[in-house]
A and B are shown apart, each in its own frame.
Chain A
């Protein structure tokens, strides 16, 4: 069985009288060790899919199997445990807790899994993102890139099966963004399954497999190869004009 199996997943929201079909029957399989990006314009349903994949929300219909467990039918308590043990989150705005130090931020997931020793694994996670020398600094004393690295350390500290990153480079300059992407690649090489949600096509194309969404449906799903690029340039509405220009250069840089 694959790490993630999604069958006909649907999420509907009621907004007054109208029903918003944020996700309209998505079927998807993700294997362990994959590096996937989910892309699409805003309103395409990629955020909704990410929330469901991240066990933050329940689908209206359909099944979601994660690591052999049926997540779509779990209780709040089981969902929280699944998030804690199997999923690591990285957000666009880092979402660190401002009043605590880097190492304490990293320890948060360990804290909720009631681990007795949190300091050593937290420092180890910081070391993996190259930030052990900033362990005692508060988020306000760190640069944007450093903050995001702390967030990544926090996401991997419990050794999850999946790393879910929601626009992880969205608040960073290009260079820092590339450094962050580099860390994702390293983690992926070490065996972590990475799911990257982004609307920036150059970032999305750094994954091995790209999933394009529109109107709550997957419209393209395949390896980020030349054939994909050809199809992509054919459907220009998926890509912001200014980003389109940088596609060819961004991809090889990441594949080094």
Chain B
């Protein structure tokens, strides 16, 4: 009851200067907003990471050209990996059960007057089984289509919707732009709706035979070979990696002691790599949040010091009426916490809005705002309020009643 009265009293004092209260809590608003947005982004990334690889199974090994970033530039041989390498791994590596070479690019796709941007994936017929992503209508392309570099395309569900709406797409001719100009493809299938696989929205994707894609872009190399080991067990993965390395070193004529011109990574290592990237983002976001909360705390302390000075006489009167020093302290602490908590609530709304905006603006990045993140942000705001309220409240409680009553 007493506490409730103190809360009401605090709300009333804050309401006297609404603008001042909001300005005082601006730092907390921004800080909490940053916390909520940061957690939404990080949660989104984690979920994406899990989801991205879960549909692929965890026995995957990724082979790519050895490209490193040095001084902000990519260094290495981009063309070291050839389609023939993929065939060789398929044939010669007994520890590898399936192989899928791939080239990925972004291009405009057109049907009649409708057009859209899509991710163009050139790959092999193993795509559906290795990605656990199957066709909803029509069929996926076959080994024959790859051998003949046929201009056939399988559309992601969103691309299909964008270009054809509700009308059937099978058998229609679409145009995909490329390095050598737009080329016409026949739609032979539409994939089922899936969402994301390995950070790509596969519904906004057009899949074509890898040989056709290479032709379209004038490439004689491929970007990646995805190989499936016998099982996700570490021993099987390591054996597959070793065998792939051996085959490729031989094919690329790399002598003993010389560095590989390709890299072989297990899915686990990829996940770890993304994990450390995520950790860096987390540090940056949490630093922003932390600094804002400190600044917010200073803002609240400042405004509370002003409030204590302004209300010196009131404090004297309250003491004369029998308020204990603890009562005075509690009054100002509650006021500081409430102003901070209200700032926190506004911050939650701001952070939520920010996260949604980021999601809408980037389209790729997903954000997840959890109740837990909101509760934590509000708890942090209240904590900041209490900590920054301690000194002003203590100062108020130590006032001499006689002096306070005399204060003009």
B-binding residues in A (CB < 8 A): 51, 54, 56-57, 76-77, 80-81, 83-85, 89, 91, 95, 97, 99-100, 108-109, 111-114, 116, 154, 158
Q: Are B324 and A116 in contact (CB under 8 A)?
A: no
Pairs A–B under 8 Å by Cβ, sample size 15: A54-B320, A56-B320, A76-B325, A80-B323, A83-B320, A89-B320, A89-B321, A95-B314, A97-B317, A99-B16, A108-B317, A111-B5, A112-B318, A113-B322, A114-B2
- Measured between alpha carbons, how far is A84 from B318 in the docked complex, in Å? 10
Query: Are B322 and A51 in contact (CB-based, < 8 A)?
Result: no
Q: Which residues of A contact B400 (CB under 8 A)?
A: 57
CB 8 Å contact bits of B380-408 with A (1 = contact, 0 = none):
00000000000000000000111001000
Instruction: Evaluate whether A56 and B13 lie within 8 angstroms (CB atoms) in the complex, with A84-B321, A84-B322, A89-B320 already known.
Output: no
Q: Is the interface of B mostly helix, strand, loop or mixed?
A: helix
Cross-chain contact A95 with B324 (CB below 8 angstroms) = no
Given contacts A97-B317, A99-B16, contact A80 B322 (CB under 8 A): yes
Given A76-B325, A89-B321, decide whether A56 and B401 contact each other with a Cβ distance below 8 A: yes
Known A-B contacts A91-B405, A99-B12; A85 and B322 likewise in contact (beta carbons under 8 Å): yes
Say whether, besides A80-B319, A100-B12, A114-B2, A56 and B324 are in contact (CB < 8 Å).
Answer: no
Residues of B within 8 A of A76 (CB): 324-325
Measured CA separation A243–B274 after assembly (Å): 89
Q: Does B180 sit within 8 A of A, measured CB to CB?
A: no
User: Given contacts A97-B317, A99-B16, are A112 and B401 in contact (CB under 8 A)?
Assistant: no
Residues of A with C-beta under 8 A to B320: 54, 56, 83, 89
Is residue B51 within 8 Å, beta carbon to beta carbon, of the partner chain? no
B-chain residues with CB within 8 Å of residue A91 when the two chains form the complex: 317, 405
Please indicate the chain B residues that have their CB under 8 angstroms from the CB of A111 in the complex: 2, 5
Chain A residues with Cβ below 8 Å from B1 are: 114, 116
Q: When chains A and B are docked, how far (Å) is the Cα of A158 from the Cα of B405?
A: 21
- Least Cβ distance of A43 to chain B in Å? 14
Q: From A51, A57, A100, A108, give the contact of B321 (CB < 8 A).
A: A108
Q: How far is the CA of A91 from the CA of B323 in the complex (A)?
A: 17
Cα(A222)–Cα(B383), bound, Å = 59
Chain A residues whose C-beta falls within 8 Å of the C-beta of B322 in the assembled complex: 80-81, 83-85, 109, 112-113, 158
Select the residue from B5, B13, B401 with max chain A CB neighbours within 10 A: B401
Of chain A, the residue at the smallest CB distance from B323 is A112
Residues of B within 8 A of A113 (CB): 322
A112 and B321 contacting across the interface, CB-CB below 8 Å: yes
Query: For chains A and B in complex, what number of residue pairs have CB atoms within 8 angstroms?
Result: 63
What are the residues of chain B within 8 A of A95 when measuring CB–CB? Answer: 313-314, 316-317, 405
Q: Which chain B residues lie closer than 8 Å to A154 at the CB level?
A: 321
Contact status A80-B324, CB under 8 Å: yes
Q: Whole-angstrom distance between the alpha carbons of A141 and B308 in the complex?
A: 25
Nearest residue (CB) in A for B2 is: A114
Give min CB distance, A171 to chain B, whole Å.
Answer: 14
B327 within 8 A of partner (CB): yes
The 6 closest A-B pairs by CB, nearest first: A84-B322, A112-B322, A56-B401, A95-B317, A109-B321, A89-B320
Give B contacts to A, CB under 8 Å. Answer: 1-2, 5, 12-13, 16, 313-314, 316-325, 327, 400-402, 405
- Selected from A51, A77, A99, A109, the residue in CB contact (under 8 A) with B324 is A77
CB distance from B338 to the nearest CB of A (A): 15
Which A residues touch B316, using CB under 8 A? Answer: 95
Q: Give the shortest distance, in Å, between A135 (CB) and chain B (any CB).
A: 17
In the assembled complex, the Cα of A83 lies from the Cα of B323 at a distance in Å of 9
- Other-chain contact of A57, B318, B324, B327, B402 (Cβ < 8 Å): B402
CB closest residue in chain A, given B319: A80
Residues of B within 8 A of A54 (CB): 320
Contact B325 A80 (CB under 8 A): yes
- How many angstroms from the CA of A91 to the CA of B406 in the assembled complex? 11
Q: Nearest chain-B residue to A113 (Cβ)?
A: B322
Do the beta carbons of A99 and B325 come within 8 Å of each other?
no
In the complex, chain A residues whose CB is within 8 Å of the CB of B12? 99-100
Chain A residues in 8 Å Cβ range of B321: 83-84, 89, 108-109, 112, 154
- Give the residues in chain B near A57, CB-CB below 8 Å: 400-402
A154 to B324, CA, bound (A): 17
Given contacts A51-B402, A54-B320, A108-B318, 17 further A-B contacts (CB under 8 A): A76-B325, A77-B325, A80-B319, A80-B323, A80-B324, A80-B325, A84-B322, A95-B314, A95-B316, A95-B405, A99-B12, A112-B318, A112-B323, A112-B324, A112-B327, A113-B322, A114-B2
CB distance from B320 to the nearest CB of A (A): 5
Write out the residue numbers on chain A whose beta carbons fall within 8 Å of the beta carbon of B327: 112
Instruction: Give CA–CA (A99, B405) in the complex, Å.
Output: 18
A56–B368 Cα gap in the complex (Å)? 57
Task: Return chain B residues, CB-CB under 8 Å to A89.
Answer: 317, 320-321
> CB-CB < 8 A to A56: which residues of B?
319-320, 401-402, 405
Residue in A closest to B397 when the chains form the complex, CB atoms? A76
Complex CA distance for A97 and B331, rounded to whole angstroms: 14
Interface centre among B13, B320, B323 (most CB of A within 10 A): B320
B1 — nearest CB in chain A belongs to which residue? A116
Q: In the complex, what's the smallest C-beta–C-beta distance from A11 to chain B, in angstroms?
A: 10
**In whole angstroms, how far apart are the Cα atoms of A76 and B399 in the complex?**
12
CB contacts (< 8 Å) of A84 on chain B: these are 321-322
B405 to A97, Cβ gap below 8 A? no
Q: Given A80-B319, A80-B322, A80-B323, answer yes or no on A99-B313 (Cβ-Cβ < 8 Å).
A: no
Expressed in whole angstroms, the minimum distance between the Cβ of A13 and any Cβ of chain B is 11
| Residue of B whose beta carbon sits closest to that of A97 | B314
- Residues in A whose Cβ lies below 8 Å from that of B323: 80, 112
Instruction: Specify which chain A residues have a CB less than 8 angstroms from the CB of B405 in the assembled complex.
Output: 56, 91, 95
**Interfacial chain A residues near B317, Cβ < 8 Å:** 89, 91, 95, 97, 108
CA distance A167 to B318 in the complex (A): 19
The distance in angstroms between the C-alpha atoms of A112 and B321, with both chains bound, is 8
Give CA–CA (A110, B401) in the complex, Å: 19
